[in-house]
Structure 1
């Protein structure tokens, strides 16, 4: 049944932990540059969001050259978003 190479299931790959840590460090650095102190979970969530954005931008997340080239682009976009966010805009207003 799977004797033909084209019919074999694609190998699954897990999350690139080193890349995720790099994105976490990037997010943390942007918050520091913008003089903001986010909750730790926010940094993790934003790193995951950057990872998901990368997945949508590259054909192969294991292509280190392409991923490395895109990280500064994602960083700059994230920095603009953080810098332009109004203080308290992430919280619900009291009714």
Structure 2
């Protein structure tokens, strides 16, 4: 094919997407601004719910952890309904994680 995409992969969805994988475009490592903003908002909401004030840098750190967890569950961050559904599920796990962190240390409690 003209762009190196495998015709077999296009038709069946099986195998390698490119005839020559070394010619494939590099994976995107850019952060999706909308999904990151949603992770931030969920983290802020959790901190308010549990009554644990957090600085902007603490929220940023926790939001990035939540965002990373989101990336393990979502194939396409442009699928906003799926992102919202995954964040709803991940929010409870994230809340428990924050509850187990000793304030000011970023470390989990020994209990």
Q: What is the root-mean-square deviation of aligned Cα atoms in Å?
A: 2.4
Separation in structure 2 between the aligned mates of residue 3 and residue 29 of structure 1, nearest angstrom: 45
Q: Name the one with the larger helix percent.
A: 1
Correspondence 1:9 to 2:39: no
Deviation at 1:83, TM superposition (A): 3.0
Please give the TM-score of this superposition, normalised by the length of structure 2: 0.65
In 2 relative to 1, CA 62–13 (structure 1 residues): closer, same or farther, beyond 3 Å?
farther
The answer to whether the Cα contact below 8 Å between 1:31 and 1:37 also exists between their aligned partners in 2 is yes
Q: Which moved more, 1:32-41 or 1:10-19?
A: 10-19
Runs of 5+ unmatched residues, structure 1: none
Aligned length, in residue pairs = 90
Correspondence 1:34 to 2:50: yes
Higher relative contact order (CA 8 A, sep 6+): 1
Please give the TM-score of this superposition, normalised by the length of structure 1: 0.74
Q: 1:46 aligns with which of 41, 62, 67?
A: 62
Q: 2:87 aligns with which of 71, 74, 89?
A: 71
